[in-house]
Amino acid sequence: MIWDAVIQPFADFGFMRRALLGCVAISLGATPVGVFLMLRRMSLTGDAMAHAILPGAAVGYLVAGLSLGAMTIGGMIAGMAVALLSGFVTRATALREDASLAAFYLISLALGVLIVSTRGSNVDLMHVLFGTVLALDDAALILLCSLASLSVVTLALLFRPLVLECADPQLLRSVSGLSAVTHFVFLALVVISLVGSFQALGTLMAVGIMILPAAAARFWATGIGGLLIAAVAVAILASLSGLLLSYHYSLPSGPAIILVAGLAYGVSLVFGPAGGLVARALPRRHLEA
């Protein structure tokens, strides 16, 4: 029974194994970045950046067809350009980060849709927007896993400055010159995570596997280490269940994975011990001191 439902699909079909590997890599590489996005109150920034990489991917597609490498490099260039430009505008002018980022990502998104719709077919647009996790080839998997590894190593190196930049940016600015570096490397990580994920989940769904597990983890853990572990665990479980649901019920896999992550968020919201609705509604008796 469990064999049939859970193991069989992966045992029988290579594409399911590949999809699972890809999703686990995304969970390990991109989800921790999502935790930091949430902690820095930049959850929506992830969404903005996801739109920003579209024209790059589209240009890559125009130049080289449905080539993974070209679309990835294009997406990365577009994402970095938007991140750097908005970061520069924030630091050099009176405009705040949210407004400058919104301005650039909207320009970028409009450009992307224009390029895709004039030159490509609607099917291509759907590929870029919603991903094809069940059709990952070797090159895509190697790229995905490399980007995930890069992201994990960078996060490990950047961990202390990043925590300080989140908790007390003023102190980081006063004790070291790493504040700006940390900020831009972190934005680069966001772009890398999105570019790595969009092949599998699409540009729009890629943010889902970053933010939803992070938001769910907030109801289970109170420390930063616990948050990271809980978020990655939620992301991997959502990937596994989403893939199985999509296999058994012939659902599109990207949205299935994200919806399971959304379900995990909903359950956490209600039953999570760290500030969930039930925990709030049924408080235990207070202590003496």
Q: Which residues of the chain form contacts with other proteins (CB under 8 A)?
A: 39, 157-158, 160-161, 163-164, 166-176, 178, 221-224, 227
Minimum distance of other proteins from residue 171's CB (angstroms):
6
- What the block records as the tokens of 193 is 């995570």
Minimum distance of other proteins from residue 274's CB (angstroms):
9
- Specify the residue, 106 or 175, whose C-beta has the smaller distance to other proteins: 175
- Specify the residue, 160 or 248, whose C-beta has the smaller distance to other proteins: 160
Minimum distance of other proteins from residue 50's CB (angstroms):
24
- Specify the residue, 126 or 167, whose C-beta has the smaller distance to other proteins: 167
Minimum distance of other proteins from residue 75's CB (angstroms):
29
Minimum distance of other proteins from residue 82's CB (angstroms):
25
- Specify the residue, 120 or 169, whose C-beta has the smaller distance to other proteins: 169
- Specify the residue, 228 or 243, whose C-beta has the smaller distance to other proteins: 228
